[in-house]
Structure formats: structure tokens, C-alpha cells
Amino acid sequence: MITIVLADDEKMIRAGLKKILQENIAMPLEIIEAKNGEEALNLCKEKEPEILITDIRMPVMDGVELMKRLSESKELPVKPAIIVLSGYDDFTYAKAAIQSGALSYILKPVDKKELIGAVNSAIMDCLQAEKNSNEQQFRKIMEKGRIDDVSTLPKITVKNGLRCIVIYGNNPLLALESVMADRKYYVLEQTKKSVLIVYPFEGKEVSYDPALLEKFVVGISGPADDYSMLRTMRKQAVTAAMQAFFDVEGGAVNSLLKGGLYFYESQNHMTDFQQIDELYEKIMSKCDISSAEEIQKGIKNLFTSFEKDSKLNAEILYYLYRKVVSNLFSRYAGYTDSDMYLHIKSIMIENIFEFKNIYEWQSSITDYVVYLAALLKQNSKESPYISEAIDFVKTHFKKNINMAMVANQVSVNYTWFSEKFKEHTGVNFNEYLKRLRIDEAKSLLEKGCYKVYEVSERSGFSDVKYFMKIFREETGMSPTEWSNKHQFISKSRSE
């Protein structure tokens, strides 16, 4: 519904204009009449109309003063689009109207086509402005994963919840227009080869041309009735699209990426990615000392996480994709940003749907890590004290050591050492030390023969409460839960 305030001191003119608009504007309209500028101003503040059509010469308050008051009003954060009517072909009035932000200036007697054209143009501008505002709010909610201010929520009537759709392929906007037709939708993310939208789901599935699905991969999230679920819906839509890499029936890896329509299935949900985390960290923690063959083998093992027949494979791929994109490129950001090969390779890897199959994507990741390892080794040769420092830390991490002590051990300036250490390892000294200690704690807990305070001491944490806090932050479990889980796994395997 578009609200229009129609201000003119002549009743017959108002009636005639109202009749023209009601008979010729396709959208539902609420037209409110005002006989002078003051009345129109109060109606604008009360009703917050999208459009104001006002005469210039009116009693009590003329159109020029009305427009000035509206532009200065703090009670109207969103100003209406203004269409000015005047019986006077006077440049002074036209200039005042333009200065006040009028969209159109129409001379009386009003030309019917000119009025309809001006109103339609104003409606289109209003709808686009509303769409842009809603998209901006949606993006903020998706990025933060929460709603900070209820008053800024998009003003959308949702009967049956919201859904997300992601489309991958050449010129996805054309596909989107074909798919959504006259439905309302809001673009959340857009690249040259992909587009992600959210739309009000009105209980009717979107229809797709089969020929379209041969060229595009389309992933659809489950429904949600809460705006704060946008980030989850995005994940669901992308996870659904990743089914294109697998056989829909059994879940086996496809030899070729297949276009088509893929729905997120809530029953196929996985929460434990511990194996992937461990395999990934094993590769990256030794990246600076591993050979190309060892890296290739490690990444190959990582990709064996996909089961031959599993409907969870798309969920596993999404997690692995996020792991690579959020950690690998930022872990050694200095190299990725400065080295052209790594920079281009990172962009390629991020565009996973550009690959013909998973194994091509795997090969690209392998190339990235092998090349990165070569750079790290070269850097190590140029700064041999870093290798010496890392060896010292790996030997003494269970003791009470700090960066100043290690920098002194290798006889290097503290500040210089800090910069070079992070450049070489991808993390700062304290983070590197913490990871070594957490890995040691995991190994000790998995043996099942140590108490928590003993694990804390043996892995280099002097404060057991701090150890328990850091361990949960890193693993999502308490030390006891981690130990019990691995004892259960070991028992199950032996049986």
C-alpha cells in the first residue's frame, strides 16, 4: 500500500486528481486529502506518506513553506517524494520547488499522462529506497548473527516465514529474475558468479525452468520466522547448493559438478567436526617443516572425511570450505596479500563452484599450501633464528616460558622477533604457545589416566581454572568431556 497526501485548496481539483490516480495507478493506494499546507504538514507527520502531491498557492501555509518545513522536520526521518502542482508558469516557484527536493513540477491544468508518469516514477523510487534500506538491515543482521535494534527491522509482512536462495553460475541475476518473477526478494550477497537472496515465503514454492537448472546450481534454505536466523539460513542455502558435488541419492562424490535445485534437509545435520579440525591443524602446524609429499598426503587424508555413501557430505564440505576460507588465507595473511600467486589462488579457492569437482578444488588447495610452505622455508633460511626459536618453544612449551625469554635465547630484538615470528607462523607467539599446550593436553586426556589438574601441569598451564576456560574455548568441551568422549570412541573401536 502506497500512501499519498494530496494537498490543494480546491475541493473539485482534489477530487479530480484522486479519481485519476485511483483509476490509473496499478498499486493499492491510500489517498488522504488536505485543503492547505498546514493540514498537509500534520498529515505527513502522522501518516508518514511515501508521496506528497501539493499545490503551490494555498491558504494558511503555501506549498513552498510546506516543503521547507518538511525538509527541516526531525519528526520525519524519511521524507516523502514531492510532486508540485502550480497554475503559474513562474520560474521562482519552480526554483523553490527544486531546492526543496521536489521530484516533479507540473503546471495546471494538469496533464493526466504527466501526473500518472510522475506518480509511477515516485512509487518506483520509494519501493527501491525501501528495498535498499531493507537489504542493508538484512545484511547487518546476517553479519552480526543477531538483532541489535528491533525498531530498525525491515517492514515486511511475513505470513509463512523467510527463506534464502543462493544461485551459482554465469550471470546469476538473469536467472534470479527468471526464478523470482514478481515476488519480493532482497539481495544479501552478490558476486559476478553468484547471488544470495532472502524472500518472504508465502507457502508456495518458487518454480524453476528445467533448462535453467542445467546451467545453474540453486540452493534453498529451510524456512525461518525470525530475522536473527539469517546467518543460519545463508549457511543452509550454501550447504544445500554443495549437494551438487555429490550424488543426491547416496551421497557419493560426483565426477562432475551438477546443476540443479537442492533443498536443505534439516535431518541431515552434523555437529561434530573434530576429525576435520585435527587433520587440518596437523597439516598447518607443520607447514613450515613438512615436505611437499607430506603436505599432499595430509590434504589427501583431510579429504577422506567424505564418506562413500553419506547425505552428510554436503555439510562436511561446507565446514571444510569455511575452515579454508576463514583460516588458511588469514593465518598467513602477510604472504597471501603480498604474493601474487597466493592472492590469485586464494580467490580461485574461495569460488568453489568454479571447479568441476571436489578433487580439482582439493588440488588447488594443495598447490596453495605447498607453495606457502616453500615461502615459509625460504623465510626460515633468511631468518634462521626463527627456526631455532620454534625448536626451542616445541621443546620447552611445558615450562613457564614467554616471548621475551625466547627472543633472548636466540639473541634477537624483542619487537623485531615478534613481527618475524608472526610472519613465519601466521599467529602471534602467545597463540602459537597456547596451541602447542592445548594439543598436548588433548593427547594426555585421551590416554584417560590423568586427572585434570595433572593434565594442566603437564601441558604447561600453571593455573587449572585458566586451563579449563581456554580448553573449552578452543574445543567446545570441558577437559572431562573430551576425555570421556575419546574413551567411549576407543571402547567402541575395540568392540
If you search the block for the grid coordinates 570450505, which residue do you land on? Answer: 321
Q: What is residue 493's predicted lDDT score, i.e. its pLDDT?
A: 43
DSSP state of 331: H
Contact 132, 161 (CB under 8 A): no
Identify the segments of the chain with pLDDT beneath 70: 88-100, 147-160, 203, 250, 268, 271, 308-309, 380-383, 487-495
pLDDT per position as a tens digit, 189-223: 988 899 999 888 776 777 777 877 888 999 999 88
Q: Is 203 left (phi over 0), alpha (psi -120 to 50) or beta?
A: left
pLDDT tens track for 332-377: 777 777 789 998 999 999 999 999 999 999 999 999 999 998 888 7
Q: 3-state DSSP call for residue 111?
A: coil
Rounded to whole angstroms, the Cα distance separating 477 from 475 reads 5
What is the predicted pLDDT for the residue at 337? Answer: 76
Torsion of CA 433, 401, 413, 327, to 10 degrees: 10
Residue type, 324: V
Distances from the Cα of 47 to the Cαs of 31, 76, 110, 410, 459, in angstroms?
Answer: 11, 10, 26, 73, 67
The order of strands in the sheet holding 81-86 is: 29-34, 2-7, 51-55, 81-86, 102-107
∠ Cα 27 98 91 (to 5°): 120
Cβ neighbour number for residue 6 with a 10 Å cutoff? 24
Q: What is the pLDDT of residue 214?
A: 83
The secondary structure of residue 166, as a DSSP letter, is E
Distance CA 30, CA 349 (A): 52
**CA 369 to CA 495: how far, in whole Å?**
38
According to the model, what pLDDT value does residue 98 have? 67
Is the CB of residue 14 less than 8 Å from the CB of residue 41? Answer: no
Environment class of 401 (CB within 10 Å of its CB; exposed 0-12, middle 13-18, buried 19+) = middle
pTM of the model: 0.68
* Cα 296 to Cα 302: distance, rounded to the nearest angstrom: 10
Per-residue cell: 137 = 538491515
Helix (H, G, I), strand (E, B) or coil at 486: helix
> Considering just the CA atoms, what is the radius of gyration of the chain in Å?
32
Closest CA to 4 of 38, 26, 27, 31: 31
User: Are 216 and 175 spatial neighbours (Cβ–Cβ below 8 Å)?
Assistant: yes
- Count other Cβ atoms within 10 Å, centred on residue 90: 12
Query: How high is the pLDDT of residue 182?
Result: 74
Report in angstroms the alpha-carbon separations of 160 from 36, 199, 202, 221, 283.
Answer: 43, 11, 5, 14, 46
Q: What is the pLDDT of residue 239?
A: 93
Please state, in angstroms and rounded to a whole number, the distance separating the CA atoms of residues 223 and 225.
7
Long-range CB pairs of 451-457 (<8 Å, 24+ gap) are 452/479, 452/480, 455/479
